[in-house]
Chains A and B, each alone.
Chain A
Amino acid sequence: MAALPIALNSIVSPRKPNKTKLDTYECGIETVGDAWVQLKGQYYIFGLIFLIFDIEAVFLFPWAVAYDRLQFYMVLEGVLFILILAGGLAYAWRKGALEWV
């Protein structure tokens, strides 16, 4: 469904490449340096924190589905699991890992 308009475009559109049109965009000037910039470390940290919470959520989904059949101490165990991970988030916060450099 998404491919149809793009295919239509490639059939209907003109195709006149020239050197200037094929240059990559850099605010209207000639490009400076490589196009592969170095990844900042902060992105990696956000990805890591997301991964931790994602895995936590994967464990919490079955717990949430079975919630109606759980007894109270089981609910508290799930809450304890979340609190441990929330402690990790608080640690990252205090250490300054959540600042955007």
Chain B
Amino acid sequence: MSDPFTTIGQFIKDLLIGIGIDAVVTDVALNIVGAVVLGGLVGAAAILLIWAERKLVARIQDRLGPNRVGPFGLLQTIADALKLITKEVLIPRGADRYVFIMAPLVVVAGVIGMWAVMPLAPGLIGSDINVGLLYVIAIGAIGTLGIIMAGLSSNNKYALLGAFRTVAQMLSYTVPIILALLIPVMLAGSMGMSTIVEAQRSVWFIFLAPLAAIIFFISSIAEVGRAPFDLLEAESEIVAGFHIEYSGMAFGMFFVGEFIHAFTIGALFAVIFLGGWQGPGAESFPLLGLFYFVAKSFLMYFVVIWIRGTFPRIRIDQMNSFNWKFITPLALTVFVVTAILDKLSVEAGFNRTAVLLAANAIIVLGTLFLLRTHARSLRRRLEVTDRPQIQRSEAAGD
């Protein structure tokens, strides 16, 4: 019973061939069943994810969170889903009906599609393409397309403005994600997700490229639209943004899609930087590998929720300048330094981990120094403009 997944798959396949179905049809049918099971599991996991988020954010805010419906409030999400199902879906006058209804489907499909290339356990992956990372970035962009569909099809200028801002934010933060993801690709020598996990046998990539991990994490949070970057969909900002005209389950789909997306970036971080399913004894017991993967993803999801509960919201101009003036140059610097030093350290024979860690530390110190200089010059500029006012009031008091 060392590999239950392959055993079950083989058993079903033999059963179907035994009935007399063609082998090719069996393969296709099994793939479709696998896709449906994966999508269903991820969607069902959303119930647990939303509950965990509400409880954690509540505790951070010194309150209890849902605790009445079911033991510890576990059934709260199901109750909310039932409520949303019975609400009327209003399609405003003049809105584009089909695009309006398709938009949440596109968003959720984009997010669930990311799970097709996740290596869940050794040998258990939806489809092991060797451009897995590029696929993940591309599918994330389809979610952005769904949001533009939502904003454009609601006959509402605020939804349109919200959709523009959302797309601007998501596009902007895709750049540091791509740059940060180039580093694990360099270190692993391939874009395939399972190859990246295998390449972390000796040392996890978070130790080889901690700054790239942090940049990827922050930019992913901004890409998903979670706090502190959630000005696009928070209720007090631009009247709830692009999904303002949605009610009932269509709105529920956006909501669920966002939570699944947040968990997905946790899982991506676990796969790319924390070693995916690796851990003691994972190769001989794939179920253990699956457990490690889920545990690591939940750990990163916890950090995402933690950040949400702790930081205040960022304004849109702060967000844009943060991206283009800080994170993107930082990502470029880290990438250039890692590329040069990795090649040099391999040729010169130094310990790769030590060299890269030292380089990352130096970049962090340099960045902090630059930030301090910049903040000091800003403060000095503000002090200079304050002084004439004081002198004027003294002159008036004479």
- Which residues of chain A from 53 to 67 have a CB within 8 Å of any chain B CB? 53-54, 57, 60-61, 64-67
- Which residues of chain A from 69 to 98 have a CB within 8 Å of any chain B CB? 70, 72, 75-76, 78-79, 82-83, 86, 89, 93, 98
CB pair B248–A82 under 8 Å, yes or no, is: no
- Which residues of chain B from 350 to 372 have a CB within 8 Å of any chain A CB? none
Q: Which chain B residues border A3 with CB–CB below 8 Å?
A: 105
CB pair B336–A79 under 8 Å, yes or no, is: yes
CB pair B343–A46 under 8 Å, yes or no, is: no
**Among the listed stretches B47-55, B90-98, B306-314, B379-387, which one makes contact with chain A, having 4 or more residues with CB under 8 Å of it?**
B90-98
CB pair B253–A5 under 8 Å, yes or no, is: yes
CB pair A68–B171 under 8 Å, yes or no, is: no
Q: Which chain A residues border B336 with CB–CB below 8 Å?
A: 79, 82-83
Q: Which chain B residues border A98 with CB–CB below 8 Å?
A: 320-321, 324-325
Chain A residue nearest in CB terms to B90: A21
The size of the chain A interface, using a CB distance under 8 A, is 58
Closest CB of chain B to A50's CB: distance in Å? 4
Residue from A12, A35, A66, A76 within 8 A of B157 (CB atoms): A35
Give per-residue flags for B133-163: 1 if the beta carbon is below 8 A from chain A beta carbons, else 0: 0100000000000000000001111101100
Closest CB of chain B to A100's CB: distance in Å? 4
Residue from B164, B174, B244, B325 within 8 A of A93 (CB atoms): B325
CB pair A82–B335 under 8 Å, yes or no, is: yes
CB pair A6–B250 under 8 Å, yes or no, is: yes
Q: Which chain B residues border A42 with CB–CB below 8 Å?
A: 168
CB pair B87–A9 under 8 Å, yes or no, is: yes
Closest CB of chain B to A99's CB: distance in Å? 8
- In the complex, whether B339 has a CB less than 8 A from a CB of chain A is yes
Interface Cβ pair total, 8 Å cutoff: 174
Closest CB of chain B to A35's CB: distance in Å? 5
CB pair A35–B156 under 8 Å, yes or no, is: yes
Cα(A35)–Cα(B163), bound, Å:
13
CB pair B101–A6 under 8 Å, yes or no, is: yes
Cα(A23)–Cα(B160), bound, Å:
16
- Which residues of chain A from 17 to 63 have a CB within 8 Å of any chain B CB? 17, 21-27, 33-37, 39-40, 42-43, 46-47, 49-50, 53-54, 57, 60-61
Chain B residue nearest in CB terms to A34: B157
- In the complex, whether B218 has a CB less than 8 A from a CB of chain A is no
Chain A residue nearest in CB terms to B92: A24
Of A9, A66, A75, A82, most buried by chain B (CB within 10 Å of CB) is A9
Contacts known (A39-B164, A82-B335); A23 close to B93, Cβ less than 8 A? yes
Q: Which chain B residues border A37 with CB–CB below 8 Å?
A: 157, 160-161
Q: Which chain B residues border A68 with CB–CB below 8 Å?
A: 189
CB pair A93–B324 under 8 Å, yes or no, is: yes
Q: Which chain A residues border B316 with CB–CB below 8 Å?
A: 100
Q: Which chain B residues border A10 with CB–CB below 8 Å?
A: 89
CB pair A65–B189 under 8 Å, yes or no, is: yes
Q: Which chain B residues border A24 with CB–CB below 8 Å?
A: 92-95, 154-156, 245
CB pair A9–B347 under 8 Å, yes or no, is: no
Q: Which chain B residues border A23 with CB–CB below 8 Å?
A: 92-93
- By a beta-carbon cutoff of 8 Å, the part of chain A in contact with chain B is 1-3, 5-6, 8-10, 12-17, 21-27, 33-37, 39-40, 42-43, 46-47, 49-50, 53-54, 57, 60-61, 64-68, 70, 72, 75-76, 78-79, 82-83, 86, 89, 93, 98-100
Which 7 A-B pairs give the minimum distances between C-beta atoms? A9-B249, A2-B108, A100-B317, A57-B178, A50-B171, A64-B185, A1-B39
A-B contact pairs, 5 of them (CB 8 A): A5-B249, A22-B93, A23-B93, A26-B157, A98-B325
